[in-house]
Structure 1
């Protein structure tokens, strides 16, 4: 069956600002009862916040809920991270070529970005056009950033909630969806 995830990635928050912003977002979500204030083993990561009593208010279809799965919480990731959907190709914006993101050159380029080089580039394997690593995408969006909010096994989030979260974060965001 697999686990589904939705990650709202703040694309622009600095490493220094990310912990404070993560705490602000956590407090905001708790105050609206979207998540519980306590941490538990409800995510595939180290720990997360279980859905709160009002979590259905942020869903595309409020009649669904996230309680039917054991893995169903919000995991807040602070630190330089590449968020992506496994098993999907990346696509060159110039020539449209698709390629496997498991290739060594791509993995190496992401590693350079992960070490702190925001200007790290990757050349398209077909046309050779260089593009900043953080600008690549494909069938599914990729997110590069210092703050990610992973909703494990929640039904689709509403577009109004994603907009509201983007406003709260105060930066560009990317919504990455996938299944493991």
Structure 2
């Protein structure tokens, strides 16, 4: 079974996403977490991604982790970087439940319907139908991690459950934003 672990900054429109993607990629390649050159090791579109490198083990909690928490030896093992507005949600078993950070009422279904305006960039925000609280769509927490942004880092077949907290903290620091780790089973 294929899976994706996706790191997404919690902001609808990340400023200069291409430039930030290059900086993060330079950090990941310098640490030998991913390879520097694109190859056909990903799932989406033309299957181009940055292949897993030996340093990937340094960002995982390997004690007690299953042998396949990293995709060494698999044909799909690369990092894909998205720099266009995208919806990052779990595919299987997605509960579609979110709450308003102000009134705490459920807004998941209505929020997902509002993505028709969010996706083309007509809006960044969502307004709670219960209390009129307005904020970036990412400020309305789902019960499962999700992300709505123009920047995302998709680790194909890397089991994000085993990412070290220090790696995720450094990723967030390099993005200058809090992040969501979205885990997708395909």
* Same fold, TM-score > 0.5, yes or no: yes
What is the SS of the residue equivalent to 1:167? helix
- The separation in 2 between residues aligned to 1:84 and 1:45, in whole angstroms, is 15
Say whether residues 1:145 and 2:149 are aligned partners: yes
Specify whether residues 95 and 136 from structure 1 end up closer, same or farther in structure 2 by C-alpha distance, changes over 3 A only.
Answer: closer
- The separation in 1 between residues aligned to 2:79 and 2:180, in whole angstroms, is 16
- The separation in 1 between residues aligned to 2:29 and 2:23, in whole angstroms, is 10
2:81 maps to 76
Say whether residues 1:165 and 2:161 are aligned partners: no
Alignment RMSD, CA only? Answer: 2.4
In the alignment, is the contact (CA less than 8 A) between 1:8 and 1:176 conserved in 2? yes
In the alignment, is the contact (CA less than 8 A) between 2:8 and 2:149 conserved in 1? yes
Specify whether residues 13 and 96 from structure 1 end up closer, same or farther in structure 2 by C-alpha distance, changes over 3 A only.
Answer: closer
Which of 93, 99, 106 aligns to 1:92? It is: 99
- The separation in 2 between residues aligned to 1:97 and 1:171, in whole angstroms, is 25
What is the SS of the residue equivalent to 2:114? helix
The structural deviation recorded for 1:85 is: 0.6
The structural deviation recorded for 1:136 is: 3.5
Specify whether residues 98 and 122 from structure 1 end up closer, same or farther in structure 2 by C-alpha distance, changes over 3 A only.
Answer: closer
The structural deviation recorded for 1:42 is: 1.2
The structural deviation recorded for 1:152 is: 0.9
Write the mapping of 1:1-180 to structure 2, written as runs, cut at 5 A: 2-12=1-11, 14-46=13-45, 47-61=48-62, 64=67, 65-86=70-91, 87-89=93-95, 90-93=97-100, 94=103, 97=106, 106-116=111-121, 117-121=123-127, 123=129, 128=130, 132=135, 133-155=137-159, 156-180=162-186
The structural deviation recorded for 1:32 is: 1.0
In the alignment, is the contact (CA less than 8 A) between 2:39 and 2:51 conserved in 1? yes
The count of aligned residue pairs is 171
TM-score by length of structure 2 reads 0.79
What is the SS of the residue equivalent to 1:26? helix
Unaligned 5+ residue runs, structure 2? none
